[in-house]
Amino acid sequence: MAPIADNDAVLSANLEFYRAFTTRDFVAMDTLWAREAPVLCVHPGWTALTDRRAIVESWRSIMVNPDAPHVMCHDDRAFLYGDFAIVLCEEELDTGHLAATNIFVRENGAWRMVHHQASPIVARSYREDEQPPPRARRH
């Protein structure tokens, strides 16, 4: 059996992140975050977290909260740069959509998360692969 291509492996790690979040699998979430590389996390509306222990505890707090949102990931796209990968995706919540950036590094042969940031999508008038609407002329 051929090994999974890096692109597929990164997208799989990204989906594992959302699976762990949705199913409240704290062990999987903890395992997914890098242990050797510096890590960063910016939850919507929070200040940046730059310490692994603080990031893992933030996820634990979110996961034990009965009001934590159910999140679905879609439109995920991976961009690979050797042992570094960026995944851009959208998070769908009951309350709206977030744009997310998830960054992974290859650590001990596995793709591990080093950065997560999500922020609300205010408005979208076209998809990236579509033509933008014509600009209004100023008079």
Any domain includes 131? no
| Residue 73 forms part of a structural domain | yes
Residue 2 confidence (pLDDT): 35
Rounded percentage of the chain residues whose pLDDT exceeds 90: 75
Q: Which tens digit of pLDDT belongs to each residue from 34-71?
A: 999 999 999 988 999 999 999 999 999 999 999 888 89
Q: What is the mean pLDDT of residues 88-113?
A: 95
| Sequence-ordered list of residues with C-beta below 8 angstroms from that of 102, at least 6 positions apart, any chain | 14, 17, 86, 87, 89, 113, 115, 116
Q: Which domain holds residue 38?
A: 26-119
Report if residue 92 sits inside a domain. yes
What is the per-residue pLDDT for 137?
Answer: 35
Distance CA 33, CA 105 (A): 10
Residue environment code for 108-129, b if the CB has 16+ CB neighbours within 10 A, otherwise e: eeebbbbbbbbeeeeeeeeeee
**How many structural domains comprise the chain?**
1
Tell me if 1 is assigned to some domain.
Answer: no
- Cα separations in angstroms, 136 against 36, 118, 123, 126, 127: 50, 30, 17, 15, 19
Could you list the beta-strand ranges (E) of 12-70: 40-42
- The answer to the question of residue 99 being in a domain is yes
